[in-house]
Amino acid sequence: MQEDPEARISRQFRREAKKQLKLVSNPEIESYVDQVGRQILSVMGPQSFDYRFFVVDESELNAFSVPGGSIYVYRGLLEQAKSTGELAGVLGHEIIHAKNHHMARLSGPDPISLLGLLGMILAGGGPGAQAAGALGQALAATRQFSYSRQLELEADTLGVRYMAQAGYDPRAALSFLKALDQQRALSPADVPTYLLTHPLTQDRVANVELIIRSLNVERPRSEGPDPLKRMQVILRLERHDEDSVIGEYEKLVSQYPDNAEARHLLAVAQQFQGKSAPARGNYEKARALDPRRPGIDRDMGRLYSQIGEFQLAHEAFERALRAAPREALNFLFLGELLERENNLRDAANAYLSASNLSPLAPLPPYRLGAVYGKMNRLGDGYYYLGRSMLLQDEDEKAMADFERAIKILGPASPRGQVIKEEIEALKARGR
Ligand SMILES: [Zn+2]
């Protein structure tokens, strides 16, 4: 089967982007952005390629998409967003740029046309210096790339409709555009990149206002508690800003001792710093105040697991899974707990569930491979490590793992057949 040309551009681009951009690699953050994206995709019907979402570890307020469905959101955008709905607005917009082939529709005689650059990559084939140079240029160009007014309006119109259909408040898209505009008015010298790459004109705002009116949104939907603040705290912790996070939330907790969110987020920061005892106290108080806090049962499960309170950890994961039985992270971290307890068989099952629920995430098959390794099932172990490498666009490593796996399992075994197909597909698509 031939690989879709845009899917191929995307894959090549991702390989280069991994080398040139620092990406946030935290399972909570990655899964959060991925889930918002997939929620929007779920109302859009069949897709011609796999969408992938990444968070670039830079404070810029920016986002961009590449033909073939690779979408990059900057940390700065997550830090400055005021609701998950605002992120959904940006992702809806970027998904439409990719889905409706906006870059191809823009291509013309323009000598620095991005599609031209991406085309060079395809024509270049091998990993030669020229192809690598073109990738670098394409990467730089994509970050600064701006579409025509007509395509921007189309991305807004359809993006807002789909985000609303997916259950997000479409007015968040408008509030985001307005906040951008205000920021530009306040400090004109400091125009957010997102405005350069997606020019904001009064007609963009007017257009989104019109769509929202046509959608007949009356009052905010009950979306449940917004997970965004927890993500913003995790991002700050990842940047080793934990002292200021702890200071800020300790102050909040002393002012508002019954604020469940403040206690929960303080606990997250304390856990990150290894202060298990106060973290535990704050989690337990936060949960008593509001058991519906997003992520709290999973966070508590991980803490109890770390301090060896395995019974409490299992109870917390059971609650987490009852509330969100299709949440891959609940299974991923349950798997970690089971590994700690040396219950490798159940750990493997938990990782397998995580992998089935989130089939494009590379971490679950990686953990699964490692557990099979511990269980001395090396053929299965190499197979899942190969799957994980494939999802990380590490084709050469994937090939090596698959070849090791098939040598152990034999080509006639059921899994051997599957691996043979994986190897064929890898060979067919080349580089
Ligand atoms: Zn745009």
Rg of the chain on CA atoms, in Å: 23
Pairing of strands 52-56, 63-66: unpaired
- What values do phi and psi take at 146, rounded to 5? -130, 135
Domain boundaries, the chain: 5-215
Kindly give the distance from the C-alpha atom of residue 68 to the centroid of ligand 1, in angstroms, as a whole number: 16
Kindly give the distance from the C-alpha atom of residue 427 to the centroid of ligand 1, in angstroms, as a whole number: 35
Note down pLDDT in tens along the chain; length 431 residues.
567 888 888 888 898 888 888 999 999 999 999 999 999 999 999 998 999 999 999 998 889 998 899 999 999 999 999 999 999 999 999 999 999 988 877 655 443 455 565 655 555 444 445 555 666 666 666 666 677 888 899 999 999 999 999 999 999 999 999 988 888 888 777 778 787 777 777 888 999 999 999 997 766 565 678 999 999 999 999 999 999 999 999 999 999 999 999 999 999 999 999 999 999 999 999 999 999 998 999 999 999 999 999 999 999 999 999 999 999 999 999 999 999 999 999 999 999 999 999 999 999 999 999 999 999 999 999 999 999 999 999 999 999 999 999 999 999 999 999 999 999 999 988 65
Kindly give the distance from the C-alpha atom of residue 152 to the centroid of ligand 1, in angstroms, as a whole number: 5
Tell me, yes or no, if the pTM score tops 0.75.
Answer: yes
Distance CA 121, CA 114 (A): 11
Secondary structure of 43-89 as H, E, C letters: CCCCCCCCCEEEEECCCCCCEEEECCCEEEEEHHHHHHCCCHHHHHH
Task: Indicate the burial class of 361 (C-beta count within 10 angstroms; 0-12, 13-18, 19 or more).
Answer: buried
Kindly give the distance from the C-alpha atom of residue 62 to the centroid of ligand 1, in angstroms, as a whole number: 10
Kindly give the distance from the C-alpha atom of residue 94 to the centroid of ligand 1, in angstroms, as a whole number: 6
Kindly give the distance from the C-alpha atom of residue 7 to the centroid of ligand 1, in angstroms, as a whole number: 20
